[in-house]
Amino acid sequence: MTAAPTTQLFLYGKWLFNIDKARTLLKEHPRDTEPTPVADWSARYHLHRLTPDYDGAPWCPVFGPDQSAFNAEHALQTDLNEPVIIATLEFDSGPAILLIDGVHRMYRAMTEGRATLPAYTLTVAETATIRER
């Protein structure tokens, strides 16, 4: 018996984003990638705290992705040519962006001294369609 495929999700605080839906949306509505700065995302997600032998977080940032499932060995094998995905959320103060796919790639790029990675940015409306909560 074959196991059902796992849906890739990204949890950020109380928000849950469906990465598979985001990838489908991007295939249906192609766009160019834009460079996104590795140093900025690495700082926001505290990637500098993760060492190559990291095997699960004894800490969890108040704001940031749950890094308890982070695998540094996997990160160092990721494809840096595959664009990361950035969601756009709307708040009273205006739009804000959130890296929802590519934390492992961002980590590898940080360790290799890359300045940018290619990124797809979803609109506020597109982000709403892939957000499950």
Classified as helix, coil or strand, 31 is coil
What is the spatial distance between Cα 62 and Cα 64, in angstroms, rounded to a whole number?
A: 6
* Amino acid identity at 96: A
Highest mean pLDDT among 7-16, 51-60, 98-107 belongs to 98-107
Q: How confident is the model at residue 55 (pLDDT cuts 50, 70, 90)?
A: low
Longest dimension (CA), the chain: 50
CATH number given to 16-130: 3.90.1530
* Amino acid identity at 120: Y
**Beta strand pairing call for 34-37 and 9-12:** unpaired
What ranges do the domains of the chain cover?
16-130
Q: Which two tokens stand for residue 41?
A: 């995302």
- 90 strand-pairing partners: 95
Average pLDDT on 45-74 reads: 66
Task: Please provide the average confidence, as pLDDT, over all residues in the chain.
Answer: 88
* Amino acid identity at 41: W
Q: How confident is the model at residue 65 (pLDDT cuts 50, 70, 90)?
A: low
pTM for the whole thing? 0.87
Dihedrals φ, ψ of 52, to 5°? -55, -25
